[in-house]
A and B are shown apart, each in its own frame.
Chain A
Amino acid sequence: MSPDILLRVEDLAKRFVCHMQGGKEILGFEGVSFRLPAGAALALTGPSGAGKSSVLKCIYRSYLPGRGSIRYRTADGGDIDLARASETEVLRIRSREMGYVTQFLHALPRVPAVDVVAEPLTAAGTPPAEARMRAQALLERLGIDRALWDAYPATFSGGEKQRVNFARAVIRPPRLLLLDEPTASLDPRAMEVVVAVLSEMKARGTTMVAVFHEGSPLASLMDDGCALPAKEPQR
């Protein structure tokens, strides 16, 4: 893999076998290939149900990829296939280099919003007081009401949860950021802030793969696109 490429996905496919339904096979997606230079942003496009989120989950390894490879250039110059890497290797890359913003927040229960956001910093060794201060500053910028900082995100509105989720993923800017409709339930003002934060991160070198709806302001950040092939109708 040439050294300026950070991520190279080749002929990736994912199938689900549902054993509870007599081994029925469901196609997630197939034939997905793209290469992404370091610092660039790529949009995954295609009709709903084409498997865009599944591609992101395969890169993050929440899904086990089927055929194909996901070559990733690590910070220390290594070349690793995330589709086949050991769980321990994937965990190490997740904690140090890769961020993932989902549409839905699976927040740890009974943890205040500010600690949910600060946790990636403390895990990396930042003193708790400083981590909390930076988390508060980010929540403030994203327009989360001060009164909510010490409340549990489980009780938040969709848009508030999404911003907490976003803040947690970007507080320690990763090398590779996977974005799955990060602005789906945000009002225009909050959306503007999210785009501004992402554009600053991009300027500092973060590489991105994103899924979003047509007309989203995230489109302005993208350098490239990968259209997921339409699926054959299944029998």
Chain B
Amino acid sequence: MTPLLAVRGLTKRFGAGCGECLDRTGALRETNRCPRCGAILACREVSFDLYPGEVLGIVGESGSGKSTVVRLLHFDLEPTAGEYRLAVADAAAGGGGRNLFALSPFQRRRIRNEHMGIVYQNPRLGLRLKVSAGGNIAERLLMAGWRHVGRIRERASELLRQTEVPLARMDEPPRNFSGGMQQRVQIAKALSTRPAVLLLDEVTTGLDVSVQAKVLDLLRSLQRELGIATLVVSHDLGVIRLLTSRTIVMRHGEIIEQGLSDQILEDPQHPYTQLLVNSVL
């Protein structure tokens, strides 16, 4: 099977760097901060594949670099090094299997608008809280080239129905919504353009347990229905168990272990993964 998304050697350094940063940071050195020059290696030499229809988890504590990976893949940040290929994006970008990081900002924006959806932990990042829920979705559809107002409104109400947001509140700004409903509007917006890849960054963190359960159930049923290849970033092994079939474990910016999700949970190999699993059960 050909991967839908392939990442190789993804590295993000904050700071000038000194040439020894890579040797002096990482899981073995137990830090992501270079002791010589003070640069932060938020993620280093991260490589993985995401296959069509698959749900892949990235788990790790705060500072492990998992959210940095997602932001790099969504072009929210510039990478220091690395390659990033998306099987569907070739035609749009005008190049067969090209490294997306080498494309112009314009081409990248286009790929992001047409092929990617993202849901952030913080709704403030994914939504304009003062613009109506329907308007938030319309804005995204406009960016992806939709022009017909009637069709945009129709699609927005279809999505809000799918994500169980009461249609009566479509013209209300998400500022007035509960945390769980804001996440559902974000999910509706992310799905609006029928993206090839869905990026979920700690989407249930900070919600009440019962609201978390509802959001997770929604994601699971959308997953069954739509089969979108999804990257789930979470520090919560319960979320990983519920949503994913494969899992990557990150620590200090580095991948330390990867495997089938049930294997990671039942037979973790790396000392840190064992600590993580034993801390929950």
Contact = CB atoms under 8 A, between A and B. Distances in A.
A70 B188 CA distance: 44
A14 to B, nearest CB: 9
Interface string B246-281: 100000000000111011001101110011001000
A74 B263 CA distance: 22
B266 A62 contact: yes
B64 to A, nearest CB: 18
A20 B272 CA distance: 9
A210 to B, nearest CB: 20
Contacts of A123: 224
Given A20-B274, A88-B1, A108-B242, A63 B260 contact: no
B205 interface: no
B51 interface: yes
Interface string A161-200: 0000000000000000000000000000000000000000
B263 A20 contact: no
Given A64-B259, A91-B260, A19 B267 contact: no
B274 A61 contact: no
A59 to B, nearest CB: 13
A91 B213 CA distance: 26
Contact-size category for A: 10 to 19
A63 B51 contact: no
B245 interface: yes
Nearest to A91: B245
A63 B263 contact: yes
Nearest to B273: A19
B267 A64 contact: yes
B30 interface: no
Contacts of B54: 88, 91
Interface string B83-106: 000000000000000000000000
Nearest to B274: A19
Contacts, number: 48
B10 to A, nearest CB: 20
Given A20-B271, A91-B246, A57 B266 contact: yes
A87 B163 CA distance: 31
B217 interface: yes
Contacts of B259: 64, 87
B271 A19 contact: yes
Contacts of B262: 62
A18 interface: yes
B234 to A, nearest CB: 16
Given A87-B246, A91-B245, A110-B213, A61 B263 contact: yes
A62 B263 contact: yes
Contact of A61 (B224, B260, B270): B260
A119 B21 CA distance: 49
A68 to B, nearest CB: 16
Interface string B201-238: 00000000000010001001000100000000000000
A105 interface: no
A63 B246 contact: no
Interface string B33-52: 00000000000000000010
Contacts of A109: 213, 242
B170 to A, nearest CB: 27
Interface in A1-60: 16-20, 57
Interface string B166-197: 00000000000000000000000000000000
A63 B271 contact: no
Contacts of A108: 220, 242
A90 interface: yes
Nearest to A58: B267
A50 B141 CA distance: 59
B213 A88 contact: no
Contacts of A57: 266-267
15 contacts: A19-B271, A20-B275, A57-B266, A62-B262, A62-B267, A63-B263, A63-B266, A64-B267, A87-B246, A90-B260, A91-B54, A91-B246, A108-B220, A122-B224, A123-B224
- What 6 pairs between A and B have smallest CB-CB spacing? A19-B271, A63-B267, A62-B262, A62-B266, A87-B260, A19-B274
